[in-house]
Structure 1
Amino acid sequence: MLYVGRELWADNGSTEPALINPQLRVNRNSPDRTGRTMDYWPSYDSITPSARAAYLSWLAGGRRDPRASIGYVFLFFYGLERRVLCDIGAQKHLRGELPGIRAEVLRLLSIYGENSSFHGYATDFLTVLDILTEDEEAERTPPPYGGERWPTPFRLRLALGRMAQEGRRVPADWALSWAWYHPQIHPRTPQQRCPDEFQSLFRLRFAERHPRGLAVRPGKTRLHWHYRPASEGFLGTTVDVTGLDVPDVVEQAAPTRKLAELVDQVTAELEPYSRWLGRHPESAGTLAAAALLPAELVDTSDGEVGAFLDWVRGRLTGDAPAVVNAAELIARWPTAAPNKMTKREATALTGFLARHGIGVEPDVRWGGPALKPGPAVLFPTGEAASDAPSPAYTATAVLVHLAAAVAIADGEFHADEQRHLVRHLQTALHLTEAEQTRLNAHLTWAVESGAKLAGIRQRLEALTRAQRTSIGDFLVTVATADGVTSPREVKTLSRIYELLGLDPDRVHQRLRPTHTLGRPPGSTATTGRKPTAGIGLDQAAVAAKLRESEEVAALLSAVFTDEDTPPDTPARQAPAAPAAPQQNGRPPAPQNAPPTVAGLDAAHSALLRSLAERSTWPRSDFHALAARHGLMPDGAVDTLNELALDVTGNPVIDGDDPMDIDTDVLQELLDE
């Protein structure tokens, strides 16, 4: 690897800078180990005798002294450049030396790579070696993820081009490296803050999208590589060392789009976890942090996560729901206050269990209150479970809950009749299998918790008569969706109308004459006549009515909000869980609904976005806006301000009339 002799000409016609001429004087008594006498472009024949002594000493010591002047490293490097670009380039039989030269460059980089100039030249020289070697080994391992992103490693371009040229699909590890070094795909915070999680999730999602690998077509653009040698012996010119007919596919539009979409998906899935780690960097591996990770990345074998899931699964037997004391769940979950759970904490818990195939009732994501000591129901959700209720489910759950509450209040609760009502509604409204499973769990919870009317009555009284009338008519529509209504159901609806402060006779007015008044289960006919078959309702009309009644459903959700739920506070609070992707079955309506904000439910998220329309709201206008979203004004203000104080330390709404919006706080919430 050394040139020794009295004469060797460089490419520029001068003496080769790397040539060691034994006839030149060497001052071994005073070696210049710091290289202070060296020029920027050193040549052995022109450096001082003291510098020659230091250079020869460095060579004799194995070229490994980290204190050596970088000028001596470059002087040796010039010889490697000459050997590769001149000698091996002209004499192909010498290519067997290339692996050894490559190993030497890597070794030098490990010692002197912190020098930016040497790092740049040596890294580019490695690319030259990869091109000339055409070593299949270079395609077995992609450039490391997390390295310097610019420029895109030529080795990556070369390997991807060969894959496209030969019709081979790009595997996951190469796609990950491609995405990292792609000049048009820029990593965001989660990708850099959580590199291990990002790489693992990228591989999983890549396998889902491209189980056989990413197909890439060879384009017309060809690869070229021009190397600018460090040695002055090359006149400062560039050398085209490509010599290959390989396509350059790195920036092709189609694979770029697919990679960018995949990076965006993985980044979005990790954003809640990344934000949590940003605020609590010491919490990696805790239950609070694991609640925000996709289920595939959670280690359930041991630690807090494993113990919690083992306890929950230990309560379940087969597919049957299990009634537990919610206090035991709360005690095992990180909360701001003992024996209490905020909405955001409850969202984190239920979302975490949902990603592991376990449902909870009540569930704030499905319109229920936050967990508190008392009965709760655990149940297996299956693979097709969605993350939010459809309008049909919301309506059904409210009617079932009210029916149970009325029956319990009247002392006439009959489990068989309640189950019959559930089956009736499930069939009439075409609930998905997952929604049916949850509805049964919800009824179990309503019965076990006593479904009291007192709190519901107080909150209903806060609504206007028009709102209460809309709710009543809406529930009649739901209950009569299939055109068949039993006397028991009519009685229940009448009792609900009384609860709403409405005339119960309106129920009979709302029922169409063509409805069949069916018999409750187990009853017998008192006449010998068979009941006349009723004419079923137009299901499309029922579905349209449900869609038109989304605001009513939101009102009902507000009515069932637990006034005892503590406000969200920043201390030890588990963050809101990310929304799980929709699976099979009906997604929540509308399908194009915007995502929720910072753990809020859909109604409060929509209200928060609406506030951006103005910086000041007259109180009457805000009341109308809250009603439009099915929310009680004062409760909505408390909810939004509690979230704002948690996230930013300042309220988003201030003042009584008019109500001022802090636009900076609002924007920060919307960016959450």
Structure 2
Amino acid sequence: MGLFDRLRQRFGSGSTVITPPPPAPRYAPASPPVFTTRPPLVALAPPSRPAAQREPAAPAPEWVPPGTTTTVAGRSLPGGMIYVGKLPHGEAALRRNVEVIDPRLPIDWRNPDFAGQDMDYWPAYQSITPRSRAAYLLWLESGRWAPDAYIGYVFLYFYGLERRALVDAQQDPAARADLPRILGEVVRLLTVYGVNSSFHQYATEFQQVLCALITRGEGAAPDPDEHDRWSPPLMLRLGIGRFAAEGRPVPVDWAWAWAMLHPEIYSRTPATRCPDEFRTLFTARYQARYADGIKIRPLKSRVALSYRPASGGLRATSWQLDVPDVLTAAAPTKALKALVESCTDDLDAYSRLIGRQPEAAGTLPALALLPDELFTVGLDGMRPMRDLVDRTLPDDVRQARFELADLTSLWPSRTPGKFAKADAVGLAQLLDKLGIGIEPDVRMGASVHSAGPAVLFRVTAAQPTTATPEYTAATTLLHLAAVVSAADDDVSAAERDHLVSHLESSLNLTPGERVRLTAHLDWLLASKLKLTGLTKRLGALTDAQRTHVAQFATAIAAVDGVVSPGEVDTLRKIYKLLGQEPDSVYTELHALTATSARPAPATEPVVVVPADTGPTGYLIPPPPKPEPPAGAIRLDPALVEAKMRESAAVAALLADVFDDEPDEVAPQPPAPVAAVDLVGSLDAAHSALLRKLTVRPFWNRADFDALCAEVALLPEGALDVLNEAAVEASEEPVVEEDDDQLVINDYAMGELLA
């Protein structure tokens, strides 16, 4: 039972009594008032008295200071912040003093109008009925907190707060000193009566005006969660304008509020689905990009403060403050929009995973998708992997072998019992964040492995995430040489290292590719490389293709212009593996050998010694080139370079040969999406799916998945795309999840299809 209900039960109903009331008892402010006696009623028309016995005339209306108790009609009204006194004469004066409590006016204590049945839309104390005055004064006496009070009485009290801040405070220092207490009272009233939409709108706008009048844009940044981006708070305009006027950089908390409340910046789904990660990422990137903060050039336009009071006795108020209005200035808007977009883009993959599997937060797959700024090795979910890396690669070790199953067992795969390519990619991405590389790496063209030997290495140079043709050629030829080495032990480690150095220099590999190639060789040597199966796969190549591979292998060995006897032996073995005559190595090398053709006879005078037009003195000769080893063959660099240009074609050919993955059945291409009218920015597939959803208000998961399959879309990704488009169009998602059902939002659907 509400307070007003209890008051109704206590007072009951009856006829009006015309005797003046005695003082009523006081009530403890910590609890609602409990009436122990029925208070008498104030006379509607008090009887006349002899002049000597009349009470003194009521004083002119005055503001009762905050925290002060005043008495009206025998009732003690605690808290102050009301106007009490005799109203001036004249209709215009009455209209301007709607909030003033005139103690001379009659009050019907017997029949308080708690429900506000007699109240006008714009009430004034002097014009409401005696019954309404009784209910209003009882509400004031009870502490102004009863949640079931008629909202018109709250507004009547609110009118006085408006007058004190908008009229008195403009000239009276004492009134300006009351502004913080008035602000606190408005905030309190919002917590009790903010459910009323009309009061919430007026009180919220008044709160912003009070904040602006009190702080003038100084202090803490407004909280975006407490405001609407379509009507940015005045405090934000004032604060950002002050930074511009004073030439100060905008701190990160103000930049955050600015971006989140900017009417032209939309942060998309990741910002709402992962709010903590989004704000942390925004903060990190803003500080990294702008250090102390972005600086804004002040504009000529000024911040305008305007407010239309709820009180019928006050006119609309407006001021133009001496603060530039830069909230939507082009340059900072563009910078903030780009920053927000970069954060949402880089959080998109993580957001989609959390949207599909909320329980995945904190797991290794989720951590692998976090942007680098949000990743720290101290995360709880990283401990098992960090321990394995520390054991495998102590501080003084740059590269080491380990058992791959020890690592893949820590990864919760998407399909139980199967370590898919997506899992292998995620694992490699997570190791990247630790500054660690792994071989084999599926991103560089390797097959998916969940067990067997593997190599971890410290990343000392920027690592590529996709294989270039040059790197693919190097790894495949290295694989071929390693297989030859495994066939017999005649090729030494020194010869293999020499081949690696040849590949690195001849194919112009980047420093990162060179680091990885060394680890790749270590993995090859740790693997059980056999000729079984390889000879068969090489035999499937045509004679021309095998000859092409043999010639390219020769060019790799000869890239430095010299082929040593040891390299010739390795080439002979490769030729034999390719089904070529081993002695044809010499024929191929002869084709690359430098020739010294005799010059043609001169037909005109020949310059024997050019004229000396340079500076006098002696030039220091360059150091002599090292002599090739005994028995080495000199080659023509131009011819070798021509062969090296074929690296991409040979790499693609060898990549198929060394692919150990079983042949997969090629998936059937999805049926083409029938011609459909595009919806907004959606493509044909998503537009078709959206139109299919319009035929029913509810969809179960199985039927929705079937619809997605018809247009070749993944269900979860399609949901995100449709809802993001709907939020942009209507600020609401078009498909909402309700247990096992998907509910179509008719309003959002209509906005999308409009």
Task: Give the distance between the partners of 2:448 and 2:545, measured in 1 at CA.
Answer: 25
User: Does the C-alpha gap of structure 1 residues 666 and 84 become closer, same or farther in structure 2, counting only changes over 3 Å?
Assistant: closer
Q: Is the 8 A contact 1:330 1:340 kept in 2?
A: no
1:6 aligns with 86
Match of 1:44 in 2: 125
Among 470, 487, 495, the residue aligned to 1:409: 487
The corresponding residue for 1:199 is 279
The residue that corresponds to 1:163 in the other structure is 243
Larger mean Cα displacement after TM superposition, 375-384 or 531-540 = 531-540
Structure 2 residue aligned with 1:563: 661
Residue 687 of structure 2 is matched in structure 1 by: none
* Counterpart-to-counterpart distance in 2, 1:224 and 1:218: 15
Work out the number of aligned pairs and report it: 578
2:387 is aligned with 1:305: no
Aligned to 1:352: 430
Q: CA 1:615–1:74 in 2, change beyond 3 Å: closer, same or farther?
A: closer
State the TM-score, normalizing by the size of structure 2: 0.68
The equivalent residue for 2:69 is none
1:279-324 CA-partner distances (Å, limit 9, x unpaired): 0112222222222112432354353322322222222123421211
For the pair 1:212 / 2:292, whether they are aligned, the reply is yes
Residue of structure 2 equivalent to 1:87: 168
Superposed CA deviations along residues 188-234 of structure 1, whole A, max 9, x for unmatched, are 11011001000001111112211231121112222212211111112
Residue 59 of structure 1 is matched in structure 2 by 140
The answer as to 2:487 corresponding to 1:389 is: no
Once structures 1 and 2 are overlaid, which stretch shifts more, 78-87 or 468-477?
A: 468-477
TM-score, normalised to structure 1, is: 0.75
Corresponding residue for 2:339? Answer: 262
After superposition, the Cα gap between the structure-2 partners of 1:396 and 1:84, relative to the gap in structure 1 and judged at 3 Å, is same
Q: Deviations over 1:603-622 (max 9, x none)?
A: x9xx99xx899779xxxxxx
Q: 5 Å matches for 1:19-30? A: 19-30=100-111
- Identity between Structure 1 and Structure 2 (%): 43
Asked if the contact 1:37–1:51 (Cα under 8 Å) also holds between the matched residues in 2, the reply is: yes
Alignment partner of 1:122 is 2:203: yes
> Cα deviation per residue 1:22-53 (whole Å; 9 max; x = unaligned)?
22333334434343443332222233333333
Go from structure 1 to structure 2 and tell me whether the alpha carbon gap of 1:532 and 1:98 turns closer, same or farther (over 3 Å shift).
same
Match of 1:183, SS state, is coil
Whether the 8 Å contact between 2:105 and 2:126 is mirrored in structure 1 is yes
CA distance in 1, matches of 2:91, 2:473: 86
Residue aligning to 1:153 = 233
Instruction: Compute the displacement of 1:116 (Å).
Output: 2.7
Q: Does 1:225 align with 2:323?
A: no
Q: Distance in 1 between matches of 2:322 and 2:251?
A: 22
670 and 91 in structure 1: CA distance in 2 versus 1, 3 angstrom threshold = closer
Going from structure 1 to structure 2, the CA distance change for 1:664 and 1:166 (only over 3 Å counts) comes to: same
- CA distance 1:651–1:142, shift in 2 (3 Å): closer
Q: How does 1:179-194 map to 2 (within 5 A)?
A: 179-194=259-274
1:24, 1:396 → 2: CA distance?
A: 100
What aligned pairs does 1:84-483 form with structure 2 within 5 A after superposition?
84-92=165-173, 94-135=175-216, 138-144=218-224, 147-234=227-314, 237-242=315-320, 244-298=321-375, 300-301=377-378, 303-317=380-394, 318-336=396-414, 340-382=418-460, 384-454=462-532, 480-483=558-561
The CA deviation string for residues 153-189 of structure 1, in whole angstroms up to 9 with x for no partner, is 2211111111111111112221121111111111211
**Amino acid in structure 1 at the alignment position of 2:248:** R
C-alpha contact 2:564 2:633 (8 A) present in aligned 1: no
Distance in 1 separating the partners of 2:136 and 2:189: 15
Q: 1:612 to 1:333 in 2, by over 3 A?
A: closer
Q: Note if contact 1:164-1:218 (Cα within 8 Å) is conserved in structure 2.
A: yes
> Which runs of 5 or more residues in structure 2 are unaligned?
1-80, 596-626, 675-701, 722-754
In 1, Cα distance between equivalents of 2:659 and 2:481: 17
Label 1:155 to 1:438 Cα distance change in 2 as closer, same or farther (>3 A). Answer: same
The answer as to whether partners of 1:342 and 1:565 remain within 8 angstroms in 2 is no
Q: Matches of 1:343 and 1:89 in 2, distance apart?
A: 70
RMSD: 4.0
Pair 1:358–1:270, CA change in 2 (3 A): same
1:578-623 deviation per Cα after TM superposition (whole angstroms, max 9, x unaligned): xxxxxxxxxxxxxxxxxxxxxxxxxx9xx99xx899779xxxxxxx
Which residue identity does 1:250 align to in structure 2?
Answer: L
Q: Which residue pairs with 1:69 in the alignment?
A: 150
Displacement, 1:333? 0.9
The change in CA–CA distance for 1:171 and 1:382 in structure 2 (over 3 A counts) is farther
Equivalent residues of 2:354, 2:361 under 8 A apart: yes
- Counterpart secondary structure, 1:14: helix
Q: 1:264 to 1:337 in 2, by over 3 A?
A: closer
Contact map agreement 2:108 2:134 (CA 8 A) in 1: yes
Distance 1:536 1:464, change over 3 A: closer
Aligned-pair CA distance for 1:352: 0.9
Distance 1:250 1:487, change over 3 A: farther
Secondary structure of residue in 1 paired with 2:83: coil
Counterpart Cα distance in 2 of 1:391 and 1:498? 26
**1:20 counterpart SS class:** coil
Between the aligned partners of 1:333 and 1:429, the Cα distance in structure 2 is 36
Deviation digits for residues 72-124 of structure 1, max 9, x if unmatched?
A: 22222211111111111233553222222122222222332333322222222
Contact in 1 for aligned 2:558/2:640 (Cα 8 Å): no
Contact 1:333 1:349 survives alignment (8 Å): yes
* CA distance in 1: counterparts of 2:459 and 2:336, whole angstroms: 32
Contact 1:145–1:176 (CA under 8 A) maintained in structure 2: no
Q: Residues 75 and 669 from structure 1, CA distance in 2 versus in 1: closer, same or farther, beyond 3 angstroms?
A: closer
Say if 1:229 and 1:495 are closer, same or farther in 2 by CA, change over 3 A.
Answer: farther
Question: Partner of 2:42 in structure 1?
Answer: none
Q: Distance in 1 between matches of 2:429 and 2:168?
A: 65
Residues 367-396 of structure 1: per-residue CA shift (max 9 Å, x gap): 112232111111111463343333332322
Q: Which amino acid aligns with 1:314?
A: R
One-letter identity of the residue aligned with 1:563: E
Residues 331 and 339 of structure 1 are in contact (CA less than 8 Å); yes or no, is this contact kept in structure 2? no
Q: Which moved more, 1:472-481 or 1:333-342?
A: 472-481
